[in-house]
Amino acid sequence: MQADFLDAHERHWDDAEFLFLAQRWANADHLYGMATECGLKQLMLAFGMPYDMNKDRPSQKEDRQHATGVWTRFETYRDGHHLGAGYVLPNSNPFRDWDVSQRYAHRSGFDQARALSHQAGARQVRDLVRKAQREGLL
């Protein structure tokens, strides 16, 4: 299947919100991270991230990261683009305590406060994606 970062961003966000409302903190938390990763990668593509169409992935290994690393990596592309000034993320990475491997963790390690923090970070990315759609960047 071909990657579609925008669609993946939207469906992970929607499912995270559904799970959050159902107080399913562990899976909501995980999907907020996945939504963030996908949204930022879509924006990075718009800002010029090289993409290997044959392997269906970012060309540079540094760009093949999840929410924790891609939050920082996003700045590389945003800063170098003429429209980038309108797409700034806070320097404080809300996903510094998130890792894709936490999908294997027991649900007791997740709570509403943790999910709320990651929801807020994912919302910041979602807002940038929506702005890019309105402005014709995506």
Mean pLDDT of 9-16: 98
Mean confidence (pLDDT) of the chain: 96
Spatial CB neighbours of 34, under 8 Å, sequence gap ≥ 6: 8, 12, 16, 66, 67, 100
Tell me the pLDDT band of 91, cut-offs 50, 70 and 90.
Answer: confident
Tell me the pLDDT band of 80, cut-offs 50, 70 and 90.
Answer: confident
pLDDT, tens digit, 9 for 90 and up, residues 96-113:
999 999 999 999 999 999
Tell me the pLDDT band of 90, cut-offs 50, 70 and 90.
Answer: confident
pLDDT, tens digit, 9 for 90 and up, residues 116-126:
999 999 999 99
pTM for this structure? 0.95
Burial of 33 (0-12, 13-18, 19+ CB in 10 A): buried
Contact 121, 36 (CB under 8 A): yes
All domains of the chain in start order, with CATH: 5-134 (1.20.120)
Least confident range of 47-56, 76-85, 115-124, 129-138: 76-85
Mean pLDDT of 2-27: 98
